Amino acid sequence: MSAPDAAALRAPESTCTLDAVLCAPHSLLRAALHPLCAPPLPPGWNRAQLSDVIGAAVLAPAAVLVPLCARAEGLNVLFTRRVAGLRQHAGQVSFPGGRSDADDRDALATALRESAEEIGLHAASAEPLGYLDCFDTISGYSVTPVVARIAADFVARPNPDEVAEVFEIPLAWLSDPLNLHTRQVDYRGRARTIYEFKPAGHLIWGATAGILVNLLARMRT
C-alpha cells in the first residue's frame, strides 16, 4: 500500500455505532483488517518512502498490539508512553510491542507477549481482530500491527522499566481529519512526510502515527 495522500485521509467518514464499528462480522473496522488466518507480508506499505535508506536489506520482524477499548462513549485506542531513560524511543508514545523472539510462533504471539511484559495485558483480556499492513522503520524493523479488542475490566500494570504512562484516545478524535497533521522533513537529501497527532499533553508520531494513518486509510477504502 502506498502512502495515502492528504485528500484521501480527509474524505468524509460515515457515522457508525460502536457495535457497527467493532462487533459486527462485516463491520467497517473488521473489513479494514487482514484476517487472522492471512497475516500481511512485507514489505511495509511505506517502503517506497524508505527505499533509499533501507535498500534491499532484510528487516528484523517485530509486532505491536493496537488495543481498542469499548467505552460508553465509543471506542478508545490505548497507547503507552515510554520511560525517558530508554536507549531507543525514549519518552515517545507507542503501542505495546517489540522485536520478535525466536520462540514466538507468529506476529500475534509477539504482540501479546510484549503487551504482557509492558502493561500486564494477558491473552485472556485481548480478543485479536486482525492485522494492519506491515510498517517498515528506518531502525531496521518490519512491524506487523495486530488490532485487538481489550476487555472492559482490564487495568493496566505498566512495567516501570519500560512504560511511564498508559492512556487512551477516542478513535473518533483520531479519525477527525483536523487532528491529523503532516509536515515535510529533509532526511538524507530527500523530502519525507511525517504524520503527527497532538492530543492534549501528548505527541504521537513516527511508526505509531504511521500505523494509525494506515488504519484510518483502510477504514475509508
211 phi/psi in degrees, rounded to 5: -65, -40
| CATH code of the domain in which 117 resides | 3.90.79.10
pLDDT digits (tens, 9 = 90+) for 85-101: 777 666 899 999 999 99
Integer Cα distance of 2 and 44 in angstroms: 9
Residue with cell 502515527: 209
pLDDT at 150 over 90: yes
Domain that holds residue 177: 38-219
- Cell numbers placing 52: 533509499
Confidence of residue 14 (pLDDT cuts 50, 70, 90): very low
Asked, for residue 62, whether it belongs to a domain, the answer is: yes
Residue 126 forms part of a structural domain: yes
Q: Is residue 4 part of a domain?
A: no
State residue 90's pLDDT score. 67
pLDDT of residue 149: 93
Say whether pLDDT at 195 is over 60.
Answer: yes
Is 27 within a domain? no
Return the DSSP state at 204.
B
CA atoms within 13 Å, Cβ hemisphere of 3: 15
- Write the DSSP symbol of residue 44: P
Count of structural domains within the chain: 1
52-75 mean pLDDT: 92
The answer to whether residue 190 is domain-embedded is yes
Q: What's the pLDDT at 89?
A: 65
Percent of the chain's residues with pLDDT above 90: 72
The x, y and z cell numbers of residue 8, run together, are: 484521501
In a domain, residue 199? The reply is: yes
Would you say residue 189 lies in a domain? yes
Does any domain span residue 19? no
- Cβ proximity of 211 and 143 under 8 Å: yes
